[in-house]
A and B are shown apart, each in its own frame.
Chain A
Amino acid sequence: MRVLMFGWEFPPHISGGLGTACFGMTRALAKKGVEIIFVLPRLGEASEENGFLRLRGASGTPLTRQLTEKMDRAGQDVWTQGIRCLPVESPLVPYLTPQAYVEALERVRRGPAEGRGPAMNRPECGAAQERSFTFELHGGYGPDLMSEVQRYGRLAAAVAARESFDVIHVHDWMTYPAGMLARALTGKPLVAHIHATEYDRSGVNVNEQVAGIERAGLHAADVVVAVSRLTRKTIIERYGVPPEKIVVVHNAVARHEAERCYLVPQRIRHEKRVLFLGRVTFQKGPEYFMEAARLVLQKIPNVRFFMAGSGDMLPALIRRAGQLRIGNRFHFAGFLRGEEVDRMFALSDLYVMPSVSEPFGITPLEAMLYDVPVLLSRQSGVSEVLEHALKADFWDTRDMADKICAVLRYPCLAAELVKNCREEMKSIRWENTADQLLVVYRNLLGGR
């Protein structure tokens, strides 16, 4: 079986959980003998052969005249009917910060962005009809993300036209246009995987464009894969996706090959550390973490709280920490990568994920790999698969603080949580996720 996957990020170039999830999923699928062509906007330094799958950068894929015409015909209805107000130029970023927005807006105002439409990028080459052309993709999440998504859609569809495969599998809204176009061109079944919805990312202030693409993609797909029952509910309620079309496949976590061992330095051994790790933004509920920290420090003064990550709410939270006079106990670690993340987990006595809305959330599973007990918000998909984790509603900071205090005070609570979680983790594997995806593929292909 050969699967054409469209994705937006892949290790080592990741900025969130999406890349990690794609990596774990594809590796497990490859182990089961699935051939995967993974199309990214741009490869960067990543090599084409990633050991288990074929990575392809969409950037620079030649487009022939013939193909673009075909695409235009096939894509016409996709773009006009399915997606509202798509051609509007907008400084769009999925992880939008206020400053970045202003800057981006400025950039848009200054000059017509290069991507007002694919046609503009077309080299002046009216000469030979067969001469192909292409455009460059940057990948990532720039302010001109929407036009990037649009260009990626055309180039990725061009990749689809050149490859042979059985199923198209797309990850999140950035790749949905590409998936829809590829489906229209090749007639192969489309699996739309939804890792996060616009409603999770932005709460009620949704970006209509993104929501429009999500809706169109989910409706166009033959099967929708949701990462949790929570997400399934969201897309049924918000987008009216027929429930029978949605399959819930939970994410998992990849084990490190050789787990490194970190020792807690002598001088900080007497105190306990509580960690928040994630984007410092509305969706992740960092302010609830700080509020809980304030409450905990009233009861247990020698605890340290770490907030690792960056995001639009960071400046406000730093100010808030000062205001509460807890700055000497509440530390901002910034955006951590690679080994720093592992070290941070290993040093922590408790990991807290107070997300307001979390479709899945792999980080608690990563924390558990380091035998760190976790406290999750009930509004997260991962709490569906973790029985042995502490849970609290994100808004109930007293409850959260109470549970943090309990973990720090009663060593046998932490020990019991860790012991039972270890057992539970045995069944949370990408192999199981891959098995479920294989069933989805096989059903689509009529049991082949």
Chain B
Amino acid sequence: MPALCLCFNIHEPYLLRRYTVFDMGQSSVYEDDDRNCEAVLRAARLCYLPAGELLLRLVRRYEGAFVTSLCVSGTALDLFEQYAPEVTEMLQALAKTGCVEFVAETSAHSLAFLYSREEFDRQVKAQTARLKSLFGKKPQTFMNTECVFNNDLAVALQQLGFKNVLAEGADQVLGWRSPNWMYRPVSGPRMRLLLRNVGLSDDMGVRFGDRAWRDWPLTAEKFATWCHSLAGTSDIINIYNDLHVFGLRHGRDTGIFDFMEALPEALLRDGRFRFATPCALAGKHGPVGEVDVPQFMSWEEQGRDLTSWLGNDMQKDAIHSLYSLAGRVRACGDKMLLHDYERLQTADHFRNMSTKWFSGSHADRPNPFDSPYDAYITYMNVLADFELRLEAGEQKKKKRGRTRASVRTGTGASA
């Protein structure tokens, strides 16, 4: 009985303001609060609230036959808390139905796993705890930032206690095999690996509004028929997308909401099909084989690799500079520094520096800077100021340590 496994990613970044070399050492306000607030309110109005309502409606209408999973980033939760608490409430209402599984990721929507295991573990634990407190259940499933995955990640996740991991069904990894089965990562024998069906996911996520596409307009009927045609050759069909597809990437007038509304009915018409969440699937299906992913892969459209975030030297320079500070920031332990350090890790900062053609091609996530060079300049200025603050913090700590030590020796002498 094949199942359709939906997972929608919810992420909003804290974008940087145009921070110049003259702000360095003067101001430590890095973020563009107005723009961030405006972006979140707009996203809530056009996408999160109507899409959330739609999912809630579907869950209620099909009484458990429609289930889905959501992967919410920590920065998005922060932004909702700050500017749009009604979105958090909406998510909690969804959680209460019991038909929505919450999938964990890094709290800062970061690429920490590539550079700092310690930072990664900390962010994942923080996010897991937060999801549990907000939505009442400890997440069992993990999807890394932008679906980034490799063998080592599976090992780490197994250690962190996750059961399932969602990843890209990239051709270079699967070869002749189909993503529509349950797999096991070669490095994590107890883990289940659910691979994204690239074609069907992108039909909905990318091509849906494209009038030049030969299958336009995509109706729920058509989509369901494609799924039904996989009946004999699949256990699971994984559709992972950015929740922005509803209302932001594809405007309401493209009919994306109507498509989703009609999808359950169309799919469930064939009695062999159902909806399922990763956790439910993991209990039912054993892995049919092992998947070996020595190189990192992601759900980035061209190449399915990391080049959107780490494709050029500016991006590499920026991220290396950032993670070279990791140990010092931890050691310093200053709360504000830790907070800012996490925010600076958000993957969007690096994507904005991409000089790849067609990078960031989705209009729903525009580059706030005029050019990738401006993004890099701003980021490096911010990082320079951050380092100055870190130095100051270290000095302060050293001084405090010294006075404490002298106090101790003083008491020792008197005793």
Contacts and interface: CB of A to CB of B under 8 A. Distances in A.
Interface of A: 295, 299, 387-388, 390-391, 398-399, 401-403, 405-406, 409-410, 412-413, 415-417, 420
Given A401-B22, A402-B22, A416-B313, A388 B355 contact: yes
A409 B86 CA distance: 45
A399 B381 CA distance: 12
A409 B316 CA distance: 16
B381 A402 contact: yes
Given A390-B371, A406-B377, A413 B22 contact: no
Contacts, number: 56
A412 B22 contact: no
Contacts of A403: 373-374, 377
Contacts of A415: 313
Contact of B21 (A299, A388, A390, A420): A299
Contacts of A416: 312-314, 355, 373, 376
Interface of B: 18, 20-22, 312-314, 316-317, 355, 370-371, 373-374, 376-377, 380-381
Contacts of B21: 299, 401-402, 405-406
Contacts of B371: 387-388, 390-391
Given A388-B355, A406-B380, A406-B381, A413 B20 contact: no
B313 A417 contact: no
A388 B356 CA distance: 12
Nearest to B313: A412
Nearest to A375: B373
Given A390-B374, A406-B381, A416-B313, 6 more contacts: A401-B21, A402-B20, A403-B374, A406-B376, A416-B314, A416-B376
A391 B370 CA distance: 9
Contact of A295 (B22, B312, B381): B22
Contact of A402 (B316, B317, B355, B377): B377
Contacts of A401: 20-22
17 contacts: A387-B371, A388-B371, A388-B373, A390-B373, A391-B370, A399-B18, A401-B21, A403-B377, A406-B377, A409-B380, A410-B317, A410-B377, A412-B314, A413-B373, A416-B355, A416-B373, A420-B355
A416 B316 CA distance: 11
A398 B21 CA distance: 9
B94 to A, nearest CB: 43
Contact of A410 (B22, B355, B376): B376
A398 B373 contact: no
Contact of A412 (B317, B370, B374, B381): B317
A406 B21 CA distance: 8
A390 B22 CA distance: 18
A401 B20 CA distance: 9
Contacts of B316: 412
A417 B20 contact: no
A142 B377 CA distance: 46
Nearest to B19: A402
Given A399-B20, A401-B22, A405-B21, A413 B355 contact: no
A88 to B, nearest CB: 46
A26 to B, nearest CB: 34
B370 A413 contact: no
B135 to A, nearest CB: 42
B377 A413 contact: yes
Contacts of B380: 406, 409-410
A419 to B, nearest CB: 8
Nearest to A403: B377
Shortest beta-carbon contacts, A-B, top 3: A402-B20, A406-B377, A412-B313
A390 B21 CA distance: 15
Contacts of A405: 21
A223 B114 CA distance: 58
A379 to B, nearest CB: 14
A420 B316 CA distance: 16
A388 B380 CA distance: 19
Contacts of A412: 313-314, 316-317
B373 A417 contact: yes
A388 B354 CA distance: 12
B355 to A, nearest CB: 6
Contacts of A398: 20, 22
Nearest to B316: A412
A132 B314 CA distance: 69
Contacts of A420: 355
Contacts of A387: 371
Contact of B314 (A299, A390, A399, A413): A413
A417 B22 CA distance: 23
Contacts of A391: 370-371
Contacts of B370: 391
Contacts of A413: 314, 373, 376-377
Contacts of A295: 22
Contacts of B376: 406, 410, 413, 416
A415 B314 CA distance: 9
A388 B373 CA distance: 8
A406 B381 CA distance: 8
A361 B75 CA distance: 44
A405 B373 CA distance: 13
Nearest to B355: A420
A391 B380 CA distance: 17
B82 to A, nearest CB: 28
A63 B21 CA distance: 65
Nearest to A299: B21
B216 to A, nearest CB: 30
B368 to A, nearest CB: 15
A327 B184 CA distance: 69
A337 to B, nearest CB: 32
Nearest to A406: B377
A410 B381 CA distance: 10
A80 B355 CA distance: 55
A412 B372 CA distance: 13
